[in-house]
Structure 1
């Protein structure tokens, strides 16, 4: 690179990228979100010039929303190859329901795909190409929508979303679109022009083409002013988040998945609403409107012990707010549906021909079935790891595995193919040892044991067509033989969440 050959705009671009690079560990790889537009083309080109091609990977998301999407994919791949940069792409399906706009759904799908591609390559830094004009447009949009401080804070220069694999960094956030275009022209870069960017039916495009040009004439420094507004809002929001964390510590239950109903309602409306917004962000939900949250809080204050909150009707982005046994939580689905009657998501059935395996991992359920051998003579835990300590039983309690009512003959596991299936509603099992004991629905058993809804999304273990074992509930006695050989080896089935399996 010869600095004297670059224009002032190009030097500013390279300097901004250099500042972002200096904050990273030596030789850390950088993923660039690469749409093929002028902004991301400039960012990728500058990243290669400053960091070197070997440290960069270009990630492209194919939304399929444009008839030209395949052409854009081919262009991006060729651009990356010309620069000697590793290239990866992922196709996504953009949901068009759930009350979310296509733009918002596409943005969510894009970031999930980018994060997945970063995780697959062990890349922990994702560079995004938004610039000062994008920031100004975002602040204006949020102002016009009546957004709160979190919305006015707009785009952060650097942030790590909850559960994300990579820190998202915006090296160009303080540069103007015109400066990026000057860089691109000077470097003779080729880029894509998305036809949808000219459609002023979209609010952002209307601002870009019809509003901000007029602002630039009468208020030349409006971009800097709006950037300062965003910074002030971000500072104030951090203080509100600090307060929300204090309140959350006082009311949170079950590792953040639920709130104490009574403790939440001891807060005044402003603090309770601030807490609900913060809690939803920690769960990865998109922001809800003030009107919706205010209605949610009103209904929570009206909930009585008599109906246990099942009359709540607050829906948001595919989730329903529930109140049950003194806890407030979100459950996938619609509030018009009965609470927790089916599995939260549909999953393919997994099958296993059991041949003595000690574990059966089920990544789609984020857990593992463990088959623990029982020594009938020692009546002790024969787990392969003698230092692992006692295993949790079906109810989650630590206990020593013994030959008894919680164990079953190995012949049962070999009787037919084992399958792990999602709940579909209406399943029944018998937990009593006596044959005369009645069978009961899983819903009733879960409720009787006070197991919250979000813990009920567990795989049911079948042998053939017979339900054999339900995590948190135990064995289905109706699936066990009436007469068994006392000398036959026995096992105990345990379900372990991924966080509990070594």
Structure 2
């Protein structure tokens, strides 16, 4: 055995992994995020020595951002194979979005891919190779960005699985170990690793700190890493208390798992409400908004007089208020925000000849016609569909629908309100047969159309063929 096996760096790292391993079940399968850099190479090599190769699986994410990415993949596969470790890789594409950090987008995509691989390989924990220098840089970056306590808390040594992020526990066993100590281990065991050329590009904020600021801090404040680690620990404790308060407030304000009481939220003072909103947004699986966006959302929530006029967009979702409830729904700003802004679309016509589908691109959906029985509440006689041209129009206001053959006709607005359909969801295609309203998505068949047909053509035979009408949005089609 090499003399390095009993060196201080070797003992420090293997003992750190031993502590992490002891926190897991005896049969736990360990996934390791393996980029091929010095940090993850040391982590994988030491994990094999501490836990055994059979319990480890090395996970590599191929971003395609570097011209050397294919070579890195080959290197990582060979490194893992040489140690008898199962190797798995995932190729991902990092979206380039104006105003969004490429580094942040790559990190988000990487963690999603790692989580998926953990599930595929039935891993019980994901070990990550971040170290004390990474933690110091993270805290400095967050401080310079004016982040709150959650940012200043830096990276957690352990993060339990949750619905919004990881499905397995994420652990950083060497978070208290210096980069220099990892490099000593790598050199002592003659490890070969990848040098990512982008790490030298000081256009990235983290690289600028690492190459231009940290060396100066090291000279004048040699203990700054430990000091920043203590700051992160204090911030994490304070953040934990804020989250505990948010949980208490959520119990008082929440109406169910996904909605808040608008009125109860307004009873909180500004700081407490912002703390609750930040926590609630995260529990809904959405990324944390900036402080400016969160404060603007709170301003709108305080000043909104009619809930159906409220729309706050964030991360592809829209915060809505309806009948005193606040909740998130998928949507974009092109959709109508309230009933007064319903879109006027071109009229579409169809001479129905037995079609089972009628796709309407301008409505982003399709009418479905399928066989059914006379007792189906959404059924209409085939003869009625063949009676006249089918027409699809936008709502214009004042349309009425009769839900029962002998019942009164009521305005669509009243029926939507009765069914609890928010105003912004009422922009639906109205299906007419001739001049008679026949079907309204979310409400059903207009029984008055039967009556009009009976008056003109006589009663429809009970044993005739009936069809069910459905409206499906494009995203719901198989």
174-183 vs 162-171, which moves further: 162-171
SS at match of 1:253: coil
Task: Describe the superposition over 1:156-187 as per-residue Cα deviations: whole angstroms up to 9, x where unpaired.
Answer: 00012531311100001000001111111111
Is 1:319–2:320 an aligned residue pair?
no
Task: Describe the superposition over 1:109-129 as per-residue Cα deviations: whole angstroms up to 9, x where unpaired.
Answer: 111111111112221200010
Distance 1:51 1:295, change over 3 A: same
SS at match of 1:18: helix
| Aligned residue in 1 for 2:268 | 267
Structure exhibiting the larger radius of gyration computed from Cα positions: 2
Distance 1:87 1:246, change over 3 A: same
Distance 1:160 1:311 in 2: 35
| Aligned residue in 2 for 1:72 | 72
Shift of 1:324: 2.5
Q: How does 1:238-253 map to 2 (within 5 A)?
A: 238-253=240-255
SS at match of 1:137: helix
| Aligned residue in 1 for 2:14 | 14
Is 1:310–2:281 an aligned residue pair?
no
Distance 1:232 1:139 in 2: 12
Distance 1:475 1:189, change over 3 A: farther
SS at match of 1:212: helix
Relative to the length of structure 1, the TM-score reads 0.71
Q: How does 1:12-411 map to 2 (within 5 A)?
A: 12-97=12-97, 99-163=99-163, 164-255=166-257, 257-305=258-306, 308-312=307-311, 314-335=312-333, 337-339=335-337, 404-406=375-377
Shift of 1:64: 1.7
Distance 2:109 2:101 in 1: 12
30-39 vs 245-254, which moves further: 245-254
Shift of 1:97: 2.2
Distance 1:451 1:7, change over 3 A: farther
RMSD (Å), alpha carbons: 4.0
Distance 2:449 2:167 in 1: 43
Distance 1:44 1:479 in 2: 71
Shift of 1:289: 1.8
SS at match of 1:244: helix
Q: Is the CA contact 2:132–2:225 (under 8 Å) kept in the aligned structure 1?
A: yes
Relative to the length of structure 2, the TM-score reads 0.74
Shift of 1:27: 1.7
Shift of 1:82: 1.2
Is 1:432–2:403 an aligned residue pair?
yes
SS at match of 2:150: helix
Distance 1:26 1:161 in 2: 19
Shift of 1:105: 1.3
Q: How does 1:457-468 map to 2 (within 5 A)?
A: none
Distance 2:449 2:178 in 1: 69
Task: Describe the superposition over 1:44-83 as per-residue Cα deviations: whole angstroms up to 9, x where unpaired.
Answer: 1111111111100011111122222222122211211111
Shift of 1:5: 3.1
Distance 2:123 2:2 in 1: 29
2:420 to 418, 439, 450: 450
Distance 1:335 1:309, change over 3 A: farther
Distance 1:250 1:72, change over 3 A: same
SS at match of 2:309: coil
Task: Describe the superposition over 1:349-390 as per-residue Cα deviations: whole angstroms up to 9, x where unpaired.
Answer: xxxxxxxxxxxxxxxxxxxxxxxx99xxxxxxxxxxxxxxxx
Shift of 1:434: 4.7
Distance 1:117 1:94 in 2: 17
Shift of 1:479: 13
Task: Describe the superposition over 1:142-169 as per-residue Cα deviations: whole angstroms up to 9, x where unpaired.
Answer: 1101111111001000012531311100
SS at match of 1:88: strand
Shift of 1:94: 1.6
Shift of 1:310: 2.3
Distance 1:96 1:253, change over 3 A: farther
Aligned length: 407
